[in-house]
Amino acid sequence: MMKKIMLIMLTTLALTLNVSAGTDGELILKKNEPSEVKDCFEKINRVTFAFNQTLDGAIFQPVASLYRKLPSPAKTGVSNSLNNLSHLLTIPNNVIQGDFKEAGVNTSRFVINTTIGILGIFDVAQYMGLIDYEKEDYGQSLAKLGVGPGCYVVLPVLGPSTARDTLGSTLNFFGGDPWYNVTIKNDTQYFENSDYYFSKGASGVDFRAKNYDSIENLEKNSLDFYASVKSLYLQDRQQKILNTKKIISTQDDSDWEEISQ
């Protein structure tokens, strides 16, 4: 039943995507220019955005506030462990994008940090000269394959996205995410379904805590908080697709998408 629902979602999303075989850098830049992404479902998006704000105020904000009070070594350990898990999604996307060197480095980082680094709590690999490359996901891979962003959408709980990025996220349920495979799809004696959901919830809290002051200031100083978040998200995605190093001043964390992947 779940797969049927996903197939319907994929078909619907495909209708909202503008696909091109070209992968030229300038074309990708043009397609992903924030001003070029249409807000086709703005009324629904704003309702969903308001729901997410209520949820944030009831759950994520207070939990993130408590999380921020933890000792720095504890927070660093949690972030390192979550970052280590993200390699499982980044590596196959490195391969899809033809970045084989990055795939090799990220694989080595994952193996070293999972073992010597005790499940990624300690980033041992960095002391071996293995730098931490940017995270990659299926939305970014689709963009580099020439798929346009389609319409801007706001997902319940998960937040800002586009039709293409939502399509990319659903690929996880069809075997695209190794962490999803070993926890949800495969019945193993080592992992439970709860491990997957706990990691995603922890990612959301970690993200919210890192951006706590930025989000509060953005909401306080924005005439239209919805429009500000949309602009920030689309700029961030454009930079990640192009692998630029430009930093958005209102955002401290490195990945909006870690909540939804």
Cα–Cα nearest to 41, from 143, 163, 159, 158:
163
pLDDT at residue 258, rounded to an integer: 45
The total number of structural domains in the chain stands at: 1
pLDDT digits (tens, 9 = 90+) for 44-85: 999 999 999 999 999 999 999 999 999 999 999 999 999 999
pLDDT at residue 110, rounded to an integer: 96
CA count, 13 A, side-chain hemisphere, 95:
9
Rounded to the nearest integer, the mean pLDDT of the chain is 84
DSSP state of 190: S
Cβ contact 6:180 at 8 Å: no
Enclosing domain of residue 240: 2-258
pLDDT at residue 20, rounded to an integer: 45
Give CA–CA dist 185/188, Å, rounded: 9
Indicate if the pLDDT at residue 6 is higher than 70. Answer: no
Cβ contact 103:94 at 8 Å: yes
What confidence category does residue 257 fall into, taking pLDDT thresholds of 50, 70 and 90? very low
pLDDT at residue 30, rounded to an integer: 59
Cα–Cα nearest to 64, from 163, 224, 202, 159:
202
Indicate if the pLDDT at residue 116 is higher than 70. Answer: yes
Residue type present at position 47: V
pLDDT at residue 260, rounded to an integer: 42
18 Ramachandran zone, left/alpha/beta (phi>0; psi -120 to 50): beta
pLDDT digits (tens, 9 = 90+) for 179-238: 888 888 876 777 888 889 999 999 999 999 999 999 999 999 999 999 999 999 999 999
Average pLDDT over residues 20-41: 66
pLDDT at residue 33, rounded to an integer: 76
Bridge partner residues of 160 (DSSP): 154
pLDDT at residue 182, rounded to an integer: 85
pLDDT at residue 253, rounded to an integer: 45
